[in-house]
Structure 1
Amino acid sequence: MIAFGQFLEILIGGLLSGVLYSLVALGFVLIFKASGVFNFAQGAMVLLAGLALVRTLDFLVARGLPFWAAVILGVVFAAAVMAIAAFVIERYVLGPLVNQDGLTLFMSTIGITFVLEGASQMIFGADNYPLRLFPTDAWFLFENQFPGGILVSKLDVWGGLIAGVLVTALAIFFQRTKTGRALRAVADDHTAAQSVGIPISWIWFVVWLVAGLVALVAATVWGTKLGVQFSITFLALKALPVLIIGGFTSVPGAIIGGLIIGAGEKLAEVYLGPSIGGGIEYWFGFVLALAVLMVRPQGLFGERIIERI
């Protein structure tokens, strides 16, 4: 019973941690699904959104504004910052590169990464800023069934609830709205989309804006977990195996991939780590992603791409 309780605690903790990875992966999926561009700058967007939020929150609270009002105004300001960033990226970076090949667009997002990292730290500061929007303590569940109960982080549960809401909203956006269908058309073929009157510049602004808002949501959770700091940009690397497993074009796949990676990392660290060495959670996800690539290159839920010559 004790062994099963330990297993259940590790599994639940891993699944909930995987959902936090999915919050970052959703931004990648959104931009790739809507524009066909792999956005290497998603981690930097999380950093920018988090810094804008936490610095505004600190400024307003220090001047006597109630915390809840400061949070609302901070979120609004951070969303405005992400809207400005989306406009600048579309107007001065992606706009001139319409109809260029995917490698060119990918390289442009690498440049965007360094610009966002430098600009965000230059404007808002480069320290580690604590952010406390969600509870960070834990519940002890099933104490009658298992000795000591099962430890469940409240922050991870909040992250799971937020991810569920985001997936539902994005699925409705892509499937039920005119703008969502236009985004998918642009991803399939820029030239064909332009020929039927879809404004590429507006579509790319919308998708980068929505991805920026997703980055803001991810920043609220990860900022509470780790603090808002430069290392938060490396979440992009943690999200990469999630994308590979779930599929670059699937919103639900980002969640499923995150659950697989999160649970796999925690279970491997506890049950395989003692026999093969520590640190397995840092590379387990990439090994698992490589195995999926060998069997199903488009991921478990990705769309199979068929090119006709």
Structure 2
Amino acid sequence: MNPATSAEVRSPTLDVTIAGVRFPVPILAAPGPLGFGREVRTVMDLRAFGGFITKSVTVEPRAGHPRPDIVEVEGGWLNAVGLRNPGIGAFVHRDLPFLRTLGIPIIVSVAGNTIEEFQQLLEILEEEAGVAALEVNVSCPNVRAGRRFGSDPELVAGLLARLRPMTRRPLFVKLSPLAADVTAVARAAAEAGADAFCCINTIPALAIDVESRRPLLGAGPGGLSGPAVRPVAVWTTWRVARATGLPVIGAGGVRSARHALEFLLAGARAVAVASAVITDPEAPARIAEGLRAYLREHAIAGVADLIGGAVGLEDVEDDGA
């Protein structure tokens, strides 16, 4: 870590750059509870985030899974939304104009059942201003095609090879924790043109009401997020950052500055926050202030000096176990 001057310690910097996109703070809105932003604009300040990653958009509208589609469980939240979204046409005409007004980088997440659907989404978004980067969601655990894409390095590489020539915008690949070897998937994506990674999506899980003997979610199984998945997400972040050398956005159970610091020390360039804002709309600002306090306390000039700074992992072999 670089030594800091007294002035730098008093005003440490939080900005980070990922694939040429500058984020004023390393705390991004993760896909999920915040929808496309308009839904929560009256209850929280979205400009407190350093950037906004949208819910995944598909070519056609999707009704998603039956409700209830999100429930609280011990250790976090269980959801099975099923990529519910209005489709790319409605997103471009209704949601994207609002997102442009936020003044922060917008990352549009895209999802498809086929390579051709991903290509169609990129063709449409290439005509739109105000999109800083694209998240290629190959990892959604509640969509069968997503599970297939995200678990197979060859399929991911084939997809990225077709998408890379279509845009000069950065391509962030959202990785699944279910891949037999997530580093193999990440390396294949990197070689095919990925610029960064988002780690991780939710982990498949199931909760049952013992009185009714029925699943808590309308769809049955769902995806687990929140504090219970954080150690898995930190581990995956460390593995992917180390294997590829590319920027990683860590996600999974970030509710405090210390949680964000775990990801940064493991190698993440930024973190994405989702479930924390369900109960605390002030979480982004609170986490940012906690990062500043940590930097001042430890005489560190900027958050960029923390990235990958965990001690004792330098000689650890990654055997995937």
- Give TM-score scaled by structure 1 length: 0.27
Which structure carries more helix by proportion?
1
Which structure carries more strand by proportion?
2
- Give TM-score scaled by structure 2 length: 0.26
